[in-house]
C-alpha cells in the first residue's frame, strides 16, 4: 500500500489520503501491472531518491479533493473509527504516534463530538497538504469529484483500455448528506479563512450561497509562510517519522 509503479506501462501513481486513491491503487495493481513501492502515502520525492533514470521519465499522476469535503470525510472516519484506525480500544499508543495524531487533530476525539466542534478545534490555520510538494509537476491530477472519468482519461493517455469499472473502496460510513450541509454559519466563516488560499490554488470554489470568499492579505501571507515550514516537514521530517512509526 504505497506508490504504484508499472515498468510495463511506464506510470507512477502517487496516493493522497482520502482522495479515492485506494480504489485506484487496487485497480492498478490488479488490472494494469502496477506494483506497490515504498509505503502508503509516500511522496514522489521519496520515490525519486531510489528511482532509475528511466523511471523518472514515467507518466506521473495523483488525486486531489476539495478540502471542504475532505474535512467532513475525516470527521466521519474519526466518528466511526474507520477500520479501527482512529481509536486505541484501550491499547496504549506509542508516544510519538500520539503526539503526531494530536497535532493532526485526531487525538482525544469523542464520537459524540459534532462536526462544528471538531472543525473549529482542528482547523485554525490556513490549510495546506503535501499535494503542494509536487502535484503541480505531475502529468495529470485526478479530481475526487470526477474520479471515474478522470481515471478513464489517465488510462487513455497511457494507451490502456478500461477493463473494469472503478470499484468503490474505503468508503467513509456515516456521511449521508452533501458536505456543504454540515457547515454552520460560524464554520463557514472559518472555512473561508483556512481553506481559501488552497482552494484558490487548485481552482475550487465555495458554494455561491456562502457569499464573498475573497482571500485576505493576512491570510494569504500566513499561507505562504506556513507553506515554507510545511514543505520542510514534508520533505525532511515526515520520511524520518514514518520510518520510526513503522518500526
d(CA 47, CA 55): 10
Q: What is the mean pLDDT of residues 9-22?
A: 94
Say if CB 90 and CB 41 are below 8 A apart.
no
Helices (H), 104-247: 115-122, 131-134, 147-157, 185-202, 217-232, 238-246
Query: What is the percentage of the chain residues whose pLDDT exceeds 90?
Result: 64
**Given the C-alpha cell 464573498, which residue does it identify?**
212
CA proximity to 129, closest of 12, 223, 244, 206: 223
Model-wide pTM > 0.75: yes
What pLDDT, on the 0 to 100 scale, is given for residue 4?
Answer: 96
Most confident listed range (1-10, 34-43, 105-114, 152-161): 152-161
In this predicted structure, what is the pLDDT of residue 88? 45
Q: Is the pLDDT of residue 59 over 90?
A: yes
Mean pLDDT for the chain overall = 86
Is there a contact between 193 and 219 (Cβ–Cβ < 8 Å)?
yes
Summarize the confidence of residues 64-83 as an average pLDDT.
88
Q: Which of 4, 9, 46, 8 is nearest to 22 (CA)?
A: 4
Are 58 and 138 in contact by the 8 Å Cβ rule? The answer is: no
pLDDT higher at 243 or 132: 132
DSSP label of 216: P
Amino acid at each position: 500500500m504505497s506508490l504504484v509503479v508499472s515498468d510495463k506501462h511506464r506510470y507512477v501513481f502517487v496516493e493522497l489520503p482520502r482522495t479515492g486513491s485506494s480504489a485506484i491503487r487496487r485497480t492498478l495493481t490488479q488490472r494494469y501491472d502496477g506494483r506497490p513501492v515504498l509505503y502508503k502515502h509516500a511522496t514522489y520525492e521519496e520515490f525519486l531518491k531510489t528511482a532509475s533514470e528511466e523511471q523518472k521519465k514515467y507518466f506521473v499522476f495523483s488525486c486531489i479533493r476539495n478540502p471542504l469535503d475532505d474535512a467532513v470525510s475525516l470527521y466521519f472516519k474519526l466518528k466511526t473509527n474507520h477500520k479501527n484506525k482512529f481509536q486505541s480500544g484501550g491499547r496504549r499508543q506509542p508516544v510519538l504516534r500520539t503526539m503526531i495524531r494530536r497535532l493532526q487533530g485526531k487525538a482525544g476525539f469523542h464520537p459524540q463530538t459534532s462536526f462544528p466542534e471538531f472543525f473549529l478545534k482542528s482547523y485554525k490555520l490556513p490549510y495546506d497538504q503535501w499535494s503542494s510538494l509536487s502535484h503541480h509537476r505531475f502529468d495529470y491530477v485526478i479530481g475526487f469529484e470526477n474520479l471515474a472519468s478522470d481515471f478513464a482519461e489517465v488510462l487513455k493517455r497511457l494507451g490502456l483500455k478500461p477493463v473494469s469499472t472503478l470499484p468503490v473502496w474505503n468508503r467513509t460510513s456515516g456521511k449521508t448528506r452533501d458536505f456543504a450541509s454540515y457547515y454552520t454559519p460560524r464554520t463557514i466563516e472559518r472555512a473561508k479563512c483556512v481553506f481559501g488560499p488552497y482552494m484558490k490554488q487548485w481552482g475550487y470554489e465555495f458554494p455561491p450561497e456562502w457569499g464573498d470568499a475573497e482571500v485576505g492579505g493576512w491570510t494569504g501571507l500566513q499561507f505562504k509562510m506556513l507553506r515554507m515550514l510545511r514543505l520542510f516537514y514534508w520533505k525532511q521530517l515526515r520520511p524520518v517519522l514514518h520510518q520510526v512509526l513503522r518500526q
